[in-house]
Amino acid sequence: MNIAFIIDNWGGIKPESNTTLRVVHEAVSRGFRVGILYPQNLTIRNNVVYGFFKIIQPFNKVPSNFSTFHQKVDFKEQMLPLRGFDAIFVRKDPPIDTTMLNFLDSISGDVFILNSVEGMRKANNKLYTAVFSDTLEDYLPVTYVSKNRDVLKRIIEESDHEKIIMKPLNGYGGSGVIVLEKSAKSNMNSLLDFYVGSGNNKNYVILQEYVEGADSGDVRILLLNGDPIGAMKRVPAKDEVRANVHAGGQVVKHAITKEEMEICRRIKPQLIKDGLHFVGIDIINGKLIEINVLSPGGIVNINRLNKTKLQKLVVDFIEEKVKESEAPIKQRMSYKEIVRNS
């Protein structure tokens, strides 16, 4: 099988914690032809979408150690058509790259793309939860999104909560997340100036109800085709509101609760409908905070805590989807062969 991974930078991967590297390693271990592609290396030649790929060359023996594997990978750089790949796994960090999606649009009917182009376009990480305002009414924190400074200020002032979460729309890994206390009104104007910006370059800001229990951490659940395959709890560092590992949070083993399973059950149909086959959801005290669809992490820590290899499930799923898409083509070719030999 030919599989491509669209990532930000191979050299920037931290082998000890990177989810993408686990899946790449599994694909290489299965003997797949694996290509690495950066979004800026997409191109069009004679109306066909190509990419300047870094093709991983075969190993005599694939190293089991991920750091060694990352170091010893040998690439052959080549311009190749994207339609030559059976599957493309998009693992680029937020924010969403709309130009990249435009390139992928033209091949989405011929190549299995994880996650789907339309799904990624629709599910910009921190806005997608609004799709579930009816089905998850009791499981969503009160959320506001705006780039209007006066509106945001009024929301804060009129809120019944002593604490409110403020974060940038396009942040990830916990970047820019703060707890704003109503008692600290003297800081409100300068904070809004900083987060929203000014002129024509204003940024969207999210204001979200502070969920009690957030200081004890959040739960990250990885979903594959709508079903949970693993979870972990992330506990914030001392004097830190963010539980994200990138922000210094610690991870502990977690058994998915009935309440969390119910959230997964309710969002599954929509995720499948939107082609969002591999996502990470964040839950605090029974409230769905975010659905991460662009490059959700967590495999490394969940594997370590539970002695599992979730990357095997992910690659198994990709293989199954590719086979499903090829079955009608093979059947049609067999029918053509029957007619040809009649």
Cα–Cα dist 6/295, whole Å: 10
Cα–Cα dist 188/178, whole Å: 12
Cα–Cα dist 54/73, whole Å: 10
How far from each other are the two terminal CA atoms of the chain, in whole angstroms? 33
Structure-token pair, residue 338: 């029957």
Out of 3.30.470.20, 3.30.450.20, 3.90.76.10, 3.40.50.1010, the CATH code matching 215-293 is 3.30.470.20
Taking alpha carbons only, the member of 95, 90, 228 closest to residue 173 is: 95
Q: Which strand (E) or helix (H) includes residue 65?
A: none
Is there a contact between 212 and 163 (Cβ–Cβ < 8 Å)?
no
- By three-state DSSP, how is residue 250 classified? strand
Cα–Cα dist 110/159, whole Å: 49
DSSP string across 170-228: T--TTTT-EEEEGGGGGGHHHHHHHHH-SGGG---EEEEEPPTTGGG-EEEEEEETTEE
Q: What is the CA radius of gyration of the chain?
A: 22
**Count of helix runs (H) and strand runs (E) in the chain:** 9, 16
Residue 86 confidence (pLDDT):
97
Kindly report, residue by residue over 239-284, the tens digit of the pLDDT: 655 555 555 679 999 999 999 999 999 999 999 999 999 999 999 9
Residues in the chain predicted with pLDDT less than 70, given as ranges, are: 125, 185, 238-248
Class for the domain spanning 2-115+314-321: alpha beta
Taking alpha carbons only, the member of 208, 223, 8, 196 closest to residue 96 is: 8
- Asked if the bond preceding 95 is cis, omega within 30° of 0, the reply is yes
Residue 171 confidence (pLDDT):
75
Place of tokens 């990352």: 70
How many Å separate Cα 254 from the centre of its chain? 20
Cα–Cα dist 211/91, whole Å: 29
Taking alpha carbons only, the member of 148, 180, 138 closest to residue 161 is: 180
Kindly report, residue by residue over 188-214, the tens digit of the pLDDT: 888 888 999 887 889 999 999 899 888
Tell me how far CA of residue 264 lies from CA of 127, 220, 260, 313, in angstroms: 17, 12, 6, 18
Domain ranges of the chain: 2-115+314-321, 142-209, 215-293
Cα–Cα dist 217/243, whole Å: 5
Contacts of 327 (CB under 8 A, 6+ apart): none
Residue 240 confidence (pLDDT):
56
Tell me how far CA of residue 267 lies from CA of 31, 56, 228, 258, 275, in angstroms: 35, 36, 11, 14, 12
User: Counting beta carbons within 10 angstroms of the beta carbon of residue 334, is it exposed (0 to 12), middle (13 to 18) or buried (19 or more)?
Assistant: exposed
CA angle, residues 226, 107, 297, in degrees to nearest 5: 35
Out of 3.10.450.50, 3.40.50.620, 3.30.70.260, 3.30.1490.20, the CATH code matching 142-209 is 3.30.1490.20
Residue 175 half-sphere exposure, CB side, CA atoms within 13 Å?
10
